[in-house]
Chain A
Amino acid sequence: MGLILREKETAPCTVTISHRFEELSAHVRFDNGAVIHPGDTVEVQGPEIMAPYGEIVEEKRLATITRASKLERLWTRSTGDFEFMELCEFSFSNEVMS
């Protein structure tokens, strides 16, 4: 891991999407045990995945992990906390609708 430079790696992953009445969820699990650190970026390769309504879909894919540089990781560790508002249901968009 460089101080400034990012590094990329590829990891096999399993994507699970539940698009059912009783459960709406989507998760990515790395099959090789890759661990994500603050500031890393993950992109699942290939076309968009979506389960039809009422169903659960599981697909094996490859994911590109872009590792944050040392500086970025440090930055994310010290500022990430301020994104907590996302968890509240009233904090989604910035649009003023009136």
Chain B
Amino acid sequence: MNAHSRDSEALHSSTAATAEEAIALQEALPPLTNEDATAVAMQNTLLTPRFYTTDFDEMDAIDVTPVRKEWDVLIGQMKADPNKGHFKKNADWDDVDWDGMEPKLKAEFIDFLISSCTAEFSGCVLYKEMKRRGSNEDITTLFQLMARDEARHAGFINDALREAGIAVNLGFLTQAKKYTYFRPKFIYYATYLSEKIGYARYITIYRHLEANPEMRFHPIFKWFREWCNDEFSHGEAFALLMKTDPKLTQSFVNKLWIKFFLTAVFSTMWVRDHQRPAFHKALGVDPKWYGQEVFRKTSEISRQVFPITLDIDSPRWVRNLNRMEVANIAIAKGRKAGGLGGWLTRMGGTVRAGLAFVSLLTIPAVSNEVPQNPRLEPAY
């Protein structure tokens, strides 16, 4: 870190007393120009977030009156910012032997950090856009607070990456980027799920390493508990938003959408985690056990607002997840091989992955009686 950053420590957003102050501090720091940029001989990783638009009028029309009491408590907690002092390196951040790390593990772990950083960053971009374009004060306050947390998480991961000699590159800003579109209700389903599954993923690893500290090969895992509490409260906010309009979770079509989102998110996580065998081996975690454990926690939490949960104990569930995983390896092989043979392998894999997904989707869901008051506290 250079001198300037040490100066700015005094104005560190985590030392601010209120959320407004923290946000103001983040925004009031003196702008500098590119000339100050120092060239660092680091491996560059281009972050590639997505950019979204949505129906901002529809979002502005949200009325949180039906959940006002719970809403104000939650926003009050987020403004109080209990984690503001958490994202600092202290004596717990022990030295990492990056050079001594087995190359395959290092590659997978770095991929894990980069994908986490990108997800936090994409969340930040999305939330900030909502904040900027909305005019409903309840909603813009929420998005501002969530953008604050995501930017903080991204900064923390970025620091861990820098220790590994990886510099993120934000050059995507000067590349043409297309804005895609998200219907507001899909923002609720998808972000609710991504926040809650994020919580379940982090806390499961944290608890596992608490019981098996010798497997903790990097200090960042020690920060996962407080970190995932941020994810948890973001999810709570979306649960309350969905509660403002019963149609969002109770209509026939929307129930199908919820099932689709659950299946897509769970199966993607399964396939993706199986692509990091060395990472899971080093942690002493079987990805199949981990997947089911995370699905179980996420399902249990999602009963606060979703009228269905997936039947993850059905024999068809793991069988078809495994099929998807195998098909995905074929797709990757085909892509690598290229040519007509590669194309055929890829297409074969795509068809099999699609069939496995349809089979997962057609497993009957378990219906769930949603409680009147959805609020939960992190309990795992």
Contact = CB atoms under 8 A, between A and B. Distances in A.
Interface of A: 15-29, 35-59, 64, 66, 76-77, 80-81, 83-98
B182 A92 contact: no
B179 A22 contact: no
A96 B335 CA distance: 11
Interface string B88-128: 00000000000000001001100100111111111111101
B179 A96 contact: no
A49 B34 contact: yes
7 contacts: A21-B5, A26-B121, A26-B125, A46-B174, A88-B269, A89-B198, A96-B332
B268 to A, nearest CB: 5
A96 B194 CA distance: 22
B323 interface: no
B367 to A, nearest CB: 24
A69 to B, nearest CB: 13
Interface residues of B, number: 94
B26 A18 contact: yes
B37 interface: yes
Nearest to A96: B332
Given A25-B151, A52-B2, A80-B181, A47 B49 contact: no
Main secondary structure of the interface of B (DSSP, over half): helix
Given A88-B194, A95-B332, A52 B37 contact: yes
A55 B181 contact: no
A97 B125 CA distance: 28
Contacts of A77: 181
Contacts of A16: 31
Contacts of A55: 4-5, 8, 32, 36
B352 interface: no
B34 A84 contact: no
Interface string B250-271: 0000000000010011001100
A48 B174 contact: yes
B30 to A, nearest CB: 8
Given A80-B182, A83-B50, A27 B125 contact: yes
A85 B181 CA distance: 13
Interface stretch (B58-66, B70-78, B273-281, B300-308): B273-281
Nearest to B113: A89
B53 A38 contact: yes
A36 B104 CA distance: 42
Q: Which 4 A-B pairs have the closest CB atoms?
A: A54-B5, A92-B115, A58-B31, A38-B181
Given A42-B177, A81-B181, A84-B194, 17 more contacts: A15-B173, A20-B8, A22-B12, A24-B154, A36-B53, A37-B53, A43-B176, A50-B34, A53-B40, A56-B29, A76-B178, A83-B50, A83-B180, A86-B49, A91-B119, A95-B275, A97-B111
Contact of B31 (A37, A56, A83, A92): A56
Interface string B144-183: 0001000110111111001000001111011111111111
B32 A23 contact: no
B12 A97 contact: no
Contacts of A38: 53, 179-181
Nearest to A72: B178
Interface in B268-320: 268-269, 272-273, 275-277
Contact of A91 (B115, B117, B154, B170): B115
Nearest to A92: B115
A80 B119 CA distance: 17
Given A22-B152, A23-B155, A24-B121, A54 B198 contact: no
Given A89-B198, A97-B107, A98-B275, A22 B87 contact: yes
B142 interface: no
Contacts of B124: 25
A97 B119 CA distance: 20
Contacts of A46: 174
Contact of B174 (A21, A29, A43): A43
A53 B147 CA distance: 20
B178 A39 contact: yes
Question: Which of A18, A38, A39, A89 lies at the interface centre, i.e. has the most chain B CB atoms within 10 A of its CB?
Answer: A89
